[in-house]
Amino acid sequence: MIGSPQAVSLMQRWLEAAHVAGMSEKTIEAYQRDVFGFLGFLTSYHGGDVGLRTLANLNVTDMRAWMAHERGRGLSARSLARALSAVKGFYGWLHEAEGVDNPSVLSMRSPKIKPRLPRPVEVADTRELISMVDIQHKEAWVGARDKAVLLLLYGCGMRISEALGLNCGQAPLPEVLRIVGKGKKERILPVLPVAREAVDAYLKTCPYDLPIDGPLFIGMRGKRLGARAVQKLMEALRRQLGLPSTATPHALRHSFATHLLEAGGDLRTIQELLGHASLSSTQVYTNLDQTRLMEVYEQSHPAAKSRR
């Protein structure tokens, strides 16, 4: 048994509150796994049921023991940071709902995480990739559909869930599109003419009668197109073009941001277009740009060449 019935009941109430607060289902599922694991550790560590009193009296030593246990079973620093965030969220709710005030938990520092630089697809490779999309399937409408999806990812910086979540009633796409993204946050996206034209071309060739309140992009059976179909498409394209495994649908979103930055786009605007909650999430593209700048320097500058 994981914790006491009281602890499990508290966790379920917290998850219900998180659902009402607008967290995505995937985030709630991840938080549930993390806090279940936390309660399971405490049950073993303290040798008994974990109730409200135990949760209220946890100290720094307890928290460090849990974190050491998680690292010992192979959890990465990034995953542990997410788990700690879930536990802190749980305790934040405990404070509001039950009056539990435990600074030992809330003050714990997350493990240091080395930022992962996104790996964009080069401009020339992106162009070639998109030019080959509509010949990947014998059904012309499927090729037109796939091309429209990839152009929305690269041309607008959409997440794959955002592109596939569009409904037919939103077409023809306007020059400026309002979408609801991660965390149910709205943002405004300019839609390039080439992307709007690609969507129009897809709709003209689509053999299905699409209802206004139904999905814009559908699969062969007429249901909303799934992310896996787009991932498989990218797998086929990167094999044909000799691109690395990092050339995924999400990489096209990274490419959108990186190529804008390289062309002189400002970071704040790119943040708005990507829908990042904080500028720090977008600043990783600055680091990427600096890394690529140094690569170009090392390859081409006479002073760098002379050191070889």
Query: Are residue 55 and residue 141 in the same domain, yes or no?
Result: no
Report the DSSP beta bridge partners of residue 176. Answer: 190
- Same domain, residue pair 83 and 130: no
68 shares its domain with 203? no
Q: What is the pLDDT of residue 303?
A: 45
CB 256 within 8 A of CB 150: no
Which residues are 179's β-sheet partners? 187
By annotation, the residues acting in catalysis are 159, 182, 250, 253, 276, 285
> Over the stretch 50-65, which tens digit does the pLDDT of each residue have?
888 888 999 999 999 9
CA–CA separation, 42 vs 49, rounded Å? 8
Does residue 308 fall inside a structural domain?
no
* Domain match, 137 and 211 both: yes
Q: Domain check: are 189 and 291 in the same one?
A: yes
- Which of 62, 79, 106 terminates a domain? The answer is 106
Say how many C-beta atoms besides its own lie within 10 A of residue 289's C-beta: 14
Q: Identify whether 118 is part of a domain.
A: no
Q: Do 15 and 135 fall into the same domain?
A: no
The confidence score (pLDDT) of residue 182 equals: 73
* Domain identity same for 202 and 136: yes
Q: Which of these, 292, 211, 307, lies nearest to 259 by C-alpha position? A: 292
Sequence-distant (≥ 6) Cβ neighbours of residue 93 within 8 angstroms: 13, 14, 17, 18
- Residues of the domain holding 279: 123-298
Residue 75 in domain? yes
Identify the sign of the CA torsion 279, 281, 285, 286. Answer: positive
Say if residue 145 is in the same domain as residue 278: yes
| 270 and 146 in a common domain | yes
Please tell me the distance from the alpha carbon of residue 109 to that of residue 107, in angstroms, as a whole number: 6
Residue 154 sits in the same domain as residue 42:
no
DSSP 4: -
177 within a domain of the structure (yes/no): yes
158-201 pLDDT, tens per residue? 889 889 999 999 999 988 888 877 767 778 788 888 989 999 99
Q: What pLDDT score was predicted for residue 305?
A: 44
Which of 45, 71, 106 is the endpoint of a domain?
A: 106
Q: What is the CATH number of the domain that holds 45?
A: 1.10.150.130
Q: Where are the alpha helices (DSSP H) in the chain?
A: 5-20, 25-46, 52-56, 60-72, 77-98, 103-106, 123-131, 140-156, 160-164, 193-205, 227-241, 249-262, 267-274, 279-282, 284-300, 302-306
Domain presence at residue 292: yes
Check: CB of residue 282 under 8 Å from CB of residue 270: yes
Shared domain check, 47 and 130: no
Tell me the pLDDT tens digit for each residue of 59-108: 999 999 999 999 999 888 888 998 999 999 999 999 988 888 899 998 89
Same domain, 78 and 171: no
Contact 192, 156 (CB under 8 A): yes
Domain count, the chain: 2
| Per-residue pLDDT tens over the stretch 217-275 | 999 988 999 999 999 999 999 888 888 888 888 888 878 777 776 666 655 666 665 65
Does 116 fall in a domain?
A: no
The answer to whether residue 200 is domain-embedded is: yes
Domain-embedded: residue 88:
yes
